[in-house]
């Protein structure tokens, strides 16, 4: 296998991580909504933690995307 096609396959594999991060972000918001509907009065105070969890999950997906871009363009 030559380097060019290996690069494309590697970038495609790295993009799987973006889908995994999508599941993570969905889980963060889903479980927030689950508990926020049970106790709406307490949900406003937890918005900060919601966005911290969202950012932590989203960062990993963005890093997978950046790795794919680095494989494609910078390597």
Partner 1 sequence: MAAEGKIDPMHQFVIEPIFGSFGHNNPFVFTNSALWTLIVLGTIWLFMWGGMKRELIPGRWQIAVEGLISFVDDMVNVSIGPEGKKFLPWVFTAFVFLLFANLIGNMPFGIVAPAHPFTITAQFTFTGVMSLITFAIVLGVGFWKHGLHFLSLFVPKDAPFVFKIVIAPIELISFLVRPFSLGLRPFIAMFAGHVLLDVFGNFVVQALNSHSAGGIGITILSLLFIMFVSMIELLVAAIQAYVFAILTSLYIGEAINLH
Cβ neighbours of 4 (radius 10 Å): 7
Decide if residue 22 touches partner 1 (CB under 8 A).
no
Q: Give the whole-angstrom CA distance, residue 52 versus residue 59.
A: 11
Measured in whole angstroms, the distance separating CA 59 from the mean position of its chain's CA atoms is 6
Considering the complex, state which of residue 38 and residue 61 has its C-beta at the smaller distance from partner 1. Answer: 61
Does 4 bind partner 1 (CB under 8 A)? Our answer is: no
Rule CB under 8 A: say whether 52 interacts with partner 1: yes
Phi, psi of 24 (to 5 degrees): -65, -45
For position 63 contacting partner 1 by CB under 8 A, the verdict is: yes
The residues that touch partner 1, with contacts defined as CB under 8 A, are 48, 51-52, 54-55, 58-59, 62-63, 65-66, 69, 73-74
């Amino acid at each position: 296998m030559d380097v060019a096609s290996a690069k494309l396959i590697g970038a495609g594999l790295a993009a799987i991580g973006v889908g995994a991060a999508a599941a993570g972000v969905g889980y963060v918001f889903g479980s927030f909504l689950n508990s926020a509907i049970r106790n709406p009065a307490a949900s406003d105070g937890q918005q900060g933690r919601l966005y911290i969890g969202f950012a932590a999950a989203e960062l990993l997906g963005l890093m997978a995307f950046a790795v794919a871009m680095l494989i494609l363009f910078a390597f």
